[in-house]
Chains A and B, each alone.
Chain A
Amino acid sequence: MMSLCPRNYSYCPSVIIWQSDEAVPRISVTDLEVSRHRISLFLSTHNAYELLPESGKIIALDVNLPVKQAFHILYEQGISVAPLWDFCKGQFVGVLSALDFILILKELGSHGSNLTEEELETHTIAAWKEGGKLHLTRTMDGNGASFSRRHLVHAGPNDCLKDVALKILQNKVATVPIIHFSSQDGSVPQLLHLASLSGILKCIYRYFRHSSSSLPILQQPICSIPCGTWVPKIGDSKPFAMLRPNASLSAALALLVQAGVSSIPIVDDNGSLLDIYSRSDITALAKDKVYAQIRLDEMSILEALRLGQDANSPHGVFNGQRCQMCLRSDPLHEVMKRLANPGVRRLIIVEAGSNRVEGIISLSDVFKFLLGYPEFVGHHFT
């Protein structure tokens, strides 16, 4: 049984009108404006070069690799996204991510799929990106546009952090490759880094943590600011997707795609948090080629998660906990500090004691709030 609201799942940007009658501290508009201005100033004066670690490693894939092998490589290397290199063009042409696999698996599982099992062996990433998704995009609502991108969203090392963050938000991606073109005509790309909001947040956090008075909004508890997605009884009445542990994998994948979210909390009958299923968990199906042996609607998400939780899982488990939780009374700077850890993309807001899910706050929620996006930002990046 799934505890889903039987409505459509299109999500709006994170401006939430509070109707709770609890006494929550009001945020002062000046505090908000001052904080936003300072963060915007910081992000505009620092560039993507600062995101690079001193010695970093990136895995890239040739675009002519069979999709199946790419899947295995992502799993074995413990990564969930890899840029794609085209030898003929001599350029990076796209990015392969967990979402691609979810779509491929759904395609395989659906009736009338035009991909047989043998074809999957040799079906290359290039062929998938060119043709395989077209019929799917027509059935998407609103989020379809982000799947049919023809060119790579990337940034340069001298682009300011604000531009990088806006590119990530506007294109609804998780990472943006930082590429440096070392020759005059831009023909020799040098891949430097995969930038994500997590890295940018870490820069902000490191820079401001010793002068917290300059960002007063950070002291506010998260329940008092319009940031994050909340369950209907606390926030406004938008649907909040959650699943029971025995929900089928195909239902989980469908929900991830349709709702356009990157993860779904798994709750028990009381609404208490048990675990979380994210898009990146899909790569665990590469273990022992499970994806070839199962039918998506026969496997439960609990079983799917167990696959990924072996001792040798390289990606895994950060701080010994898969789902990072926080309370609604936690101040924003505490939430930011935890989101600044690599691998943590979201915190689940729970009620103290019972662990009942109250909401989710993610990296993109925090950035949209801090940048005043999209209301106050006029750029459009493609």
Chain B
Amino acid sequence: MGNANGREEEVGNGIEEDESLSLTETGRSNGGAMGLSYNHAQVPGRVASSESMGNIIDNNNNNNNNNNTPPHSPGRSPSPLLFAPQLPVAPLQRGDGLPFFNNIWQNESQGVVDQPPERAIPSMITWNYGGNNVAVEGSWDNWTSRKMLQRSGKDHSILLVLPIGIYHYRFIVDGEWRYNPDLDFAPDEMGHVCNLLNVNDNVPENLESVAEFEAPPSPDYSYSQTLPTEEDFAKEPVAVPPQLHLTVLGMENPDEASSSKPQHVVLNHLFIEKGWASQSVVALGLTHRYQSKYVTVVLYKPLIR
């Protein structure tokens, strides 16, 4: 891990090598330094810009294939479906006063007021054609910074967490511009060929591929309960299970309602508005699922007496 140490001193972090393996809160401020450029010596001029990207690549802290594994072992590949993307935050100021704050990122978020934070999706970029130092540059930050890929044998890879959209990117393999012919590519406006990354938030439901997802068998009971009789109707109705109170229907704030996923337990239950007996119009609500999305329909109906 000699080159890691040497690099840190350049940067002035003053973090011991051992500390870097167990990043928690401090990880955010130099997550960029640790996760991205850990195994390679960096050209000094490049340091600032790659660290400014650190606030976007926070998730590498959760990534299993850095820090703890020595460079030669393949490492565990992270499943993009299993970890929750963190919202990027401004990293802490470093002691030497260099601003971490990426201006491009700031302008983006200023333009979007009153909206929930943009969801960022993790995507993997790989390079399987060997090389010692492989980095990638892309249009996600307008080609200003370079990110080193993690190496495992002849393969290099990096996990990027980006908002939805199409991005152009290129590889720099041992100093040379290259593109990966296995992935989508297209010429850019200057005529160079770049790879295309299409970040999409439609995670297709492919439950068969998830081995742990077998549905449990039905319980061993019979469905022989008799229908309710008159005396049953005379009794008080059973109390509503508390989970059913978790409906999105009562939420006043539309932003809040639309960003919170309904619990499975309230799906396909018909809700009626409170205090309906005295009104002439009643509201009925139903939440149902369509593929991966949830829709709550509220229907106003006249009450005929």
Contact = CB atoms under 8 A, between A and B. Distances in A.
A70 B296 CA distance: 19
Contact of A56 (B165, B202, B258, B280): B258
Contacts of B131: none
Interface stretch (B10-18, B77-85, B286-294): B286-294
A157 interface: yes
B280 A69 contact: yes
Interface stretch (B21-29, B223-231, B297-305): B297-305
B299 A193 contact: no
Given A53-B293, A57-B296, A73-B281, A62 B301 contact: yes
Interface string A307-322: 0000000000011000
Interface in A39-97: 49-50, 52-62, 64-66, 69-70, 73, 78, 85, 87
B258 to A, nearest CB: 5
B166 A52 contact: no
A69 B281 contact: yes
Interface in B114-169: 114-115, 139-140, 163-168
Interface in A297-334: 318-319
B139 A58 contact: no
Contact of B188 (A50, A64, A70, A213): A213
Contacts of A52: 290, 293, 295
Interface string B251-263: 0001001111110
Nearest to A51: B293
B302 A319 contact: no
A180 interface: yes
A193 B295 contact: yes
Contacts, number: 111
B290 A192 contact: yes
A192 B113 CA distance: 26
Contact of B167 (A157, A192, A211): A211
A57 B281 contact: no
Contacts of B115: 341
B165 A180 contact: no
A87 B254 CA distance: 27
A65 B296 CA distance: 20
B139 A53 contact: no
Interface stretch (A201-209, A230-238, A372-380): A201-209
A191 interface: yes
B111 A337 contact: yes
B189 A60 contact: no
Contact of A73 (B202, B262, B291, B300): B300
A149 B297 CA distance: 24
B299 A85 contact: yes
B53 to A, nearest CB: 14
B265 to A, nearest CB: 15
Interface string A179-212: 0100000000011110000000000001111110
A61 B167 CA distance: 43
A55 B293 contact: yes
Contact of B140 (A57, A64, A207, A210): A210
A62 B299 contact: yes
Contacts of B288: 190
Contacts of B167: 210-211
**Residue among A64, A73, A206, A318 with max Cβ neighbours from chain B (10 Å):** A206
Interface string B82-122: 00000000000000000000000000000101110000000
A262 to B, nearest CB: 21
Given A50-B202, A57-B254, A207-B166, A180 B290 contact: yes
A199 to B, nearest CB: 12
A62 B296 contact: no
Contacts of A60: 297-300
A213 B189 CA distance: 6
Given A60-B300, A69-B280, A55 B168 contact: no
B144 to A, nearest CB: 13
B166 A62 contact: no
Nearest 10 Cβ contacts at the A-B interface: A213-B189, A62-B301, A210-B165, A55-B294, A57-B296, A52-B293, A60-B299, A211-B166, A59-B298, A206-B164
18 contacts: A56-B295, A57-B257, A57-B258, A57-B296, A58-B298, A59-B297, A60-B297, A62-B299, A65-B281, A66-B302, A157-B290, A192-B293, A207-B166, A210-B139, A211-B139, A213-B189, A337-B111, A341-B115
Interface of A: 49-50, 52-62, 64-66, 69-70, 73, 78, 85, 87, 157, 180, 190-193, 206-211, 213-214, 318-319, 337, 341
Interface of B: 111, 113-115, 139-140, 163-168, 188-189, 202, 248, 254, 257-262, 280-281, 288, 290-302
Given A54-B293, A54-B294, 5 more contacts: A49-B291, A53-B293, A59-B300, A157-B290, A190-B288
